[in-house]
Amino acid sequence: MIHIPNLLTATLLSSALLAGPVFAQVETAPPNAPDQTPAFEGQTRAPTPAEATAVSTEVVADGLPHLWAMEFLPDGRMLVTAKAGAMHIVSEAGNAGPEITGVPEVDSRGQGGLLDVALAPDFETSGLIYFSFSEPRDGGNGTSVASAKLVQDPGNNTGALEDVKVIFQQTPTYNGDKHFGSRLVFGPEGELYVTVGERSDVEPRVQAQDIGSGLGKTFRIDVTGAALTDNPFVDTEGALPEIWSLGHRNMQSAALDGEGRLWTVEHGPKGGDELNRPEAGKNYGWPEVTYGVDYSGAPIGEGITEKAETEQPVYYWDPVIAPSGMAYYEGAEFPAWDNSFIIGGLVAQGLVVVHLDGDQVTSEERIPLQARVRDVKVGTDGAVYAVTENSGSSQIIRVSSGS
- Judged by beta carbon, residue 85 or residue 285, the one nearer Ca ion is 285
The interface region with Ca ion, picked from 29-37, 108-116, 134-142, 274-282 by CB under 5 A, is 274-282
Neighbours of 172 (CB within 10 A): 16
- Judged by beta carbon, residue 103 or residue 300, the one nearer Ca ion is 300
Q: How far is the CB of 282 from Ca ion (least distance, A)?
A: 10
- Judged by beta carbon, residue 193 or residue 315, the one nearer Ca ion is 315
Among 123, 284, 337, 385, the residue binding Ca ion under the rule CB under 5 A is 284
Q: What angle do CA 163, 166, 169 make, to 5 degrees?
A: 175
Q: Does 278 bind Ca ion (CB under 5 A)?
A: no
- Judged by beta carbon, residue 83 or residue 248, the one nearer Ca ion is 248
Of the candidates 254, 256, 228, the residue with the CA atom closest to the CA atom of residue 242:
228
Compute the distance between CA of residue 186 and CA of residue 179 in angstroms, rounded to an integer.
22
| DSSP symbols for 119-182 | E-TTHHHH-EEEEEEEEEETTEEEEEEEEEEEEEETTTTEEEEEEEEEEEE-SS-B--SS----
Total number of residues that touch Ca ion (CB under 5 A): 3
Q: How far is the CB of 247 from Ca ion (least distance, A)?
A: 6
Q: How far is the CB of 249 from Ca ion (least distance, A)?
A: 7
Compute the distance between CA of residue 134 and CA of residue 180 in angstroms, rounded to an integer.
7
Amino acid at 202: V
Q: How far is the CB of 325 from Ca ion (least distance, A)?
A: 20
The interface region with Ca ion, picked from 49-57, 130-138, 281-289, 324-332 by CB under 5 A, is 281-289
Compute the distance between CA of residue 29 and CA of residue 136 in angstroms, rounded to an integer.
40
Of the candidates 312, 311, 209, 320, the residue with the CA atom closest to the CA atom of residue 272:
320
The interface region with Ca ion, picked from 30-38, 75-83, 270-278, 345-353 by CB under 5 A, is 270-278
Task: Let me know if 66 is a catalytic residue.
Answer: no
- Judged by beta carbon, residue 68 or residue 284, the one nearer Ca ion is 284
Catalytic residue, candidates 66, 88, 179, 355: 179
Q: How far is the CB of 26 from Ca ion (least distance, A)?
A: 21
The interface region with Ca ion, picked from 108-116, 140-148, 206-214, 272-280 by CB under 5 A, is 272-280
Residues 346-385 that bind Ca ion (CB under 5 A): none
Q: Does 285 bind Ca ion (CB under 5 A)?
A: yes
Q: Where are the beta strands (DSSP E) in 19-119?
A: 56-65, 67-72, 78-82, 86-90, 114-119
- Judged by beta carbon, residue 97 or residue 285, the one nearer Ca ion is 285
CA atoms within 13 A on the CB side of 159: 29
| Residues classed as catalytic | 179
Which residues would be at the binding site for Ca ion (CB under 5 A)?
274, 284-285
